[in-house]
């Protein structure tokens, strides 16, 4: 008998369930915020990347509504064919000024920004040096480029140097996340820039989790390390701290001009909608004017980390407000998450393949919109569940 061709799907799903790796996606009955509504119940939200609470900000919603009235809802097609709107230009100029770079190109997401850049900069016969914990969108961008990929040990500059010393021909590109999203640690960017210079490599940093978090007013990791003008390519997202959706690339005018000619997701996928773009511009303006949300985020991060560490949890090596509560096997982390939800705390567990086997965790994302009472409520839930499961 011929086997059912799609039959493997059911087996794979069963496997995921068995290993505690199946993702149960929750449905929110309202906006993102410090609290969310799930199954008609209010839950403390510890899982969004909405770091600054801008996802439902009144000023940003108003900007999006005005843009819909003035520009409609759709971009028409890709920008190279249907044209680009003044709104997109305005966002790119506003972002470039904020990031202190000559130029910016926006894309549909951080994911497509990585695909656009990497494939345009390197190809067959070129070499990429990639941190072993880089984000999936970087990994896919590297694979699609067809360049040779040399993976170096996570944030290990001896390992990067050893890989750079291997003889190659063609162009060289070093790529790293700025903030590593699962652990909250930072790439040693000054050392990377130094090695890149020595070996004639381009440097690219993906600042998705540094945006709105690191540096003055949340300008990102390049500002944090005061490396303006020394990192060739910055990729960022508008979907995390900035609260909306979209991605971008920042760099020299020539680089941006080139990417608009050669970046495949730019050429073959439609632009962000007017509402998205106007919302993003407003979010960047808010950040440029006022750093109080960034300060609040860090204050909240420090408070939460201190408290759970004192309770006896292992919170890894985070240097940012991201707080990974390390729980070992995926099944244990999944059980912890379920029990937290019994206490009205929404904090998803993260297991393989997002993190290595045995390193499953609850990654807590506090935000600037959490009050002190909210954090205390969450900390108490972690204490109770930690005791129930004999972890603390
Ligand atoms: C989240 C993330 C992305 C993807 O950004 P989107 O805008 O959601 O597509 C890319 N890179 C890194 C490092 C990320 O953390």
| Residue 129: per-residue pLDDT | 98
CA angle, 175 as apex, 354 and 130 as ends, to 5°? 60
Q: Give the residue, by CA position, lying nearest to ligand 1 atom 2.
A: 208
Q: Do domains 19-48+291-388 and 58-289 have the same CATH topology?
A: no
CA of 138 to the centre of ligand 1 (A): 9
Which pLDDT band, with edges at 50, 70 and 90, does 3 fall under? confident
Per-residue DSSP letters for 323-387? EEEEEESHHHHHHHHHHHHHTTEE--EE-TTTS-TT-EEEEE---TT--HHHHHHHHHHHHHHHH
Q: Give the residue, by CA position, lying nearest to ligand 1 atom 12.
A: 208
Domain locations in the chain? 19-48+291-388, 58-289
pLDDT digits (tens, 9 = 90+) for 88-101: 999 999 999 999 99
Task: Count Cβ atoms within 10 A of the Cβ of residue 200 and give its class: 0-12 exposed, 13-18 middle, 19 or more buried.
Answer: exposed
Least confident piece of the model among 69-78, 191-200, 311-320, 348-357? 348-357
Q: Give the residue, by CA position, lying nearest to ligand 1 atom 3.
A: 110
Atom of ligand 1 nearest to the CA of 177: 13
Which pLDDT band, with edges at 50, 70 and 90, does 75 fall under? very high
CA of 237 to the centre of ligand 1 (A): 6
The CATH number of 19-48+291-388 is which of 3.90.1150.10, 3.40.309.10, 1.20.120.640, 3.90.1200.10?
3.90.1150.10
CA 50 to chain centre: 10
CA-closest candidate to residue 324, choices 304, 341, 310: 304
Q: Give the residue, by CA position, lying nearest to ligand 1 atom 5.
A: 110
Structure tokens that stand for 350 in this block: 């993260």
209 flagged as catalytic: yes
CA of 139 to the centre of ligand 1 (A): 12
Q: What percent of the chain has pLDDT over 90?
A: 93
Average pLDDT estimate for 277-303: 98
**274-289 helix and 292-311 helix, angle to the nearest 10 degrees:** 80
Atom of ligand 1 nearest to the CA of 181: 15
Structure tokens that stand for 11 in this block: 């087996």
Residue of 32, 106, 108, 239 best suited for mutating to test ligand 1, as the one with most atoms within 8 Å of CB: 239
Atom of ligand 1 nearest to the CA of 239: 7
Question: For the chain, what is the mean pLDDT?
Answer: 96
Which pLDDT band, with edges at 50, 70 and 90, does 354 fall under? confident
pLDDT digits (tens, 9 = 90+) for 14-29: 999 888 778 889 999 9
| Residue 159: per-residue pLDDT | 98
Of 351 and 52, the one with more pLDDT:
52
The CATH number of 58-289 is which of 1.10.287.70, 3.90.550.10, 3.40.50.1820, 3.40.640.10?
3.40.640.10
CA of 266 to the centre of ligand 1 (A): 16
Q: Give the residue, by CA position, lying nearest to ligand 1 atom 14.
A: 208
- Strand 323-328 and strand 360-364: the pairing is antiparallel
Catalytic residue among 88, 209, 217, 370: 209
305 flagged as catalytic: no
Phi then psi dihedrals of residue 125, to 5 deg: 75, -5
CA of 391 to the centre of ligand 1 (A): 32
CA of 235 to the centre of ligand 1 (A): 9
| Residue 2: per-residue pLDDT | 80
Q: What percent of the chain has pLDDT over 70?
A: 100
Q: Give the residue, by CA position, lying nearest to ligand 1 atom 15.
A: 208
Residue of 107, 113, 179, 208 best suited for mutating to test ligand 1, as the one with most atoms within 8 Å of CB: 208
CA of 246 to the centre of ligand 1 (A): 9
> Assign residue 210 a region: left if phi > 0, alpha if psi is -120 to 50, beta otherwise?
alpha
Q: Are 223 and 216 in contact (CB under 8 A)?
A: yes
pTM: 0.96
Please report, for residues 86, 107, 268, 287, the alpha-carbon distance to residue 79 in angstroms, rounded to integers and kept in the order given.
12, 10, 9, 27
To the nearest 10°, report the CA torsion of 316, 294, 205, 181: 30
Residues with CB under 6 A from ligand 1: 109-111, 135, 137, 177, 181, 206, 208-209, 237, 239, 247
């Amino acid at each position: 008998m011929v086997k059912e061709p799609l039959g493997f799907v059911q087996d794979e799903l069963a496997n995921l369930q068995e290993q505690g790796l199946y993702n149960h996606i929750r449905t929110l009955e309202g906006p993102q915020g410090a609290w969310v509504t799930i199954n008609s119940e209010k839950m403390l939200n510890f899982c969004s990347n909405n770091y600054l609470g801008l996802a439902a900000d009144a000023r940003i919603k108003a900007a999006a509504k005005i843009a819909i009235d003035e520009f409609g809802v759709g971009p028409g097609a890709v920008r190279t064919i249907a044209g680009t709107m003044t709104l997109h230009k305005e966002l790119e100029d506003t972002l470039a000024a904020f990031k202190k770079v000559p130029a910016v190109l926006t894309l549909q997401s951080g994911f497509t920004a990585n695909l656009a850049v990497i494939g345009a900069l390197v190809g067959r016969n070129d070499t990429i040096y990639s941190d072993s914990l880089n984000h999936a969108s970087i990994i896919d961008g590297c694979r699609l480029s067809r360049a040779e990929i040399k993976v170096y040990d996570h944030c290990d500059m001896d390992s990067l140097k050893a890989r750079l010393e291997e003889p190659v021909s063609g162009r060289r590109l070093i790529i790293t996340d700025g903030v590593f999203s699962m652990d909250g640690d930072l790439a040693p960017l000054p050392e990377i820039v130094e090695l890149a210079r020595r070996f004639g490599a381009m440097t690219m940093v993906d600042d998705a989790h540094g945006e709105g978090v690191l540096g003055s007013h949340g300008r990102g990791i390049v500002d944090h390390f005061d490396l303006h003008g020394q990192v060739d390519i910055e990729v960022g997202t508008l979907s995390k701290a900035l609260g909306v959706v979209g991605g971008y690339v920042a760099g020299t005018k020539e680089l941006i001009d080139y990417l608009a000619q050669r970046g495949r997701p730019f050429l073959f996928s439609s632009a962000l909608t007017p509402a998205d773009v106007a919302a993003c511009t407003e979010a960047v303006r808010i950040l440029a004017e006022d750093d109080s949300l960034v300060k609040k985020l860090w204050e909240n991060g420090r408070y939460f980390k201190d408290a759970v560490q004192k309770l006896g949890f292992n919170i890894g090596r985070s240097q940012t407000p991201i707080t990974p509560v390390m729980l070992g096997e995926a099944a244990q982390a999944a059980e912890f998450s379920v029990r937290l939800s019994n206490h009205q705390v929404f904090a998803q567990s993260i297991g393989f393949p997002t993190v290595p086997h045995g390193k499953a965790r609850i990654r807590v994302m506090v935000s600037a919109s959490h009050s002190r009472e909210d954090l205390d409520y969450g900390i108490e839930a972690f204490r109770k569940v930690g005791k129930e499961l004999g972890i603390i």
